[in-house]
Amino acid sequence: MNKAFTILRSTIAGLIIIPNIAINCLLVVLTMPFGHKVQYKFAKAYSHVGHYVLSWVTGLKYEIVGEENLPDTASVVYMKHQSAWETITIFRIVPQFVIVLKRELMAIPLFGHALKSIKMIDIDRSSGTSAVKQVIEKGTERLRDGLWVSIFPEGTRMMYGRTRRFGKSGALLAKEAGVPLVVIAHNAGEFWGKKTLMVNPGKIKVIIGEPIMPDGKSADEMLEQASTWMETTMRENFPEYKKLADYYAGLQLDDDGGNFQTKKSS
């Protein structure tokens, strides 16, 4: 497709989605007196609008494989974070949930207020062990309330084809709370990359793995199973991901979240 046309479609989509975020954040805040369930409906409405705009305007659609693997009870989710797409569409994939996110987002006017009001879990990523404790304590409370807890295990948005060591907080939370750990792979980064507003048409494939049960496993074993399944599934199902992953594996790169800066020789 002509690049100029793709840019035009992406721009139109952005001009619809961004005001939609602001409107739904306002509605989430205004409906605080009516409780979390009512607020969540408006949060989910943002996702529906975003999905239809992406589908109709940019031509970006998606399909889900393994939806039957989602447990009937609140669980912990590990999901690949490659683009803005998953932050829009996750509401359509995972049952009523909260996301573990960086504290800086809470400082954004209106947006941060809306996130806080629907019980999102904000952490100070620089606090190390303290951040893990926050995830376990707040995450356990959310799970008891029947809310799923979604975590981007690499801790940041990654460029397509690159990965980093998974954080342990999700596995620790699942083990501590005695709930399943569900791993979700997808190739959104192939169509909508990190640090770009340009959305390419195509169909994203979302793959939901069988839940990793905490019984008889340590948190380390759950983490290893999750990270192995994720990388194997990405490589086996997405040729472009495998091609890029093999390429980047041959480079010496700083673990900076996917900016691909070659390490300097010592």
Residues with Cβ within 8 Å of 239's Cβ and at least 6 positions away in sequence, in order, are none
Q: Please give the torsion angle defined by the CA atoms of residues 44, 159, 156 and 62, in that order, rounded to the nearest 10 degrees.
A: 20
pLDDT recorded at residue 130: 87
Which tokens in the block code for residue 117? 């009001």
Sheet of 76-79: strands edge to edge?
60-65, 202-208, 181-186, 76-79, 148-151, 97-102, 121-123
> Exposure of 92 by Cβ count < 10 A (0-12 exposed, 13-18 middle, 19+ buried)?
middle
Which of 41-45, 172-176, 204-208 has the weakest average pLDDT? Answer: 41-45
pTM score of the predicted model: 0.91
pLDDT recorded at residue 265: 37
CB 148 within 8 A of CB 164: no
pLDDT recorded at residue 244: 95
What DSSP assignment string belongs to the chain? --HHHHHHHHHHHHHHHHHHHHHHHHHHHHTGGG-HHHHHHHHHHHHHHHHHHIIIII-EEEEEE-GGGS-SS--EEEE---SSHHHHHHHHHSSSEEEEEEGGGGGSTTHHHHHHHTT-EEE-GGGTHHHHHHHHHHHHHHHHTT-EEEE-TTSS---TT---PPPSHHHHHHHHHT--EEEEEE-GGGTS-TT------EEEEEEEPPPB--TT--HHHHHHHHHHHHHHHHHHH-HHHHHHHHHHHTS-B--SSS--PBPPP-
pLDDT digits (tens, 9 = 90+) for 168-201: 999 999 999 999 999 999 999 999 998 888 999 9
Residue 261 has pLDDT above 90, yes or no: no
Which tokens in the block code for residue 64? 């889900």
pLDDT digits (tens, 9 = 90+) for 95-145: 999 999 999 999 999 999 999 999 999 998 777 788 899 999 999 999 999
> Exposure of 32 by Cβ count < 10 A (0-12 exposed, 13-18 middle, 19+ buried)?
middle
Residue 262 has pLDDT above 90, yes or no: no
Q: Sorting pLDDT into bands at 50, 70 and 90, what band is 258?
A: very low
Share of the chain above pLDDT 90, in %: 85
Helices 36-53 and 85-93: crossing angle in degrees, nearest 10, is 120
Share of the chain above pLDDT 70, in %: 94
pLDDT digits (tens, 9 = 90+) for 141-169: 999 999 999 999 998 999 999 999 999 99
pLDDT digits (tens, 9 = 90+) for 52-65: 999 999 999 999 99
pLDDT recorded at residue 255: 56
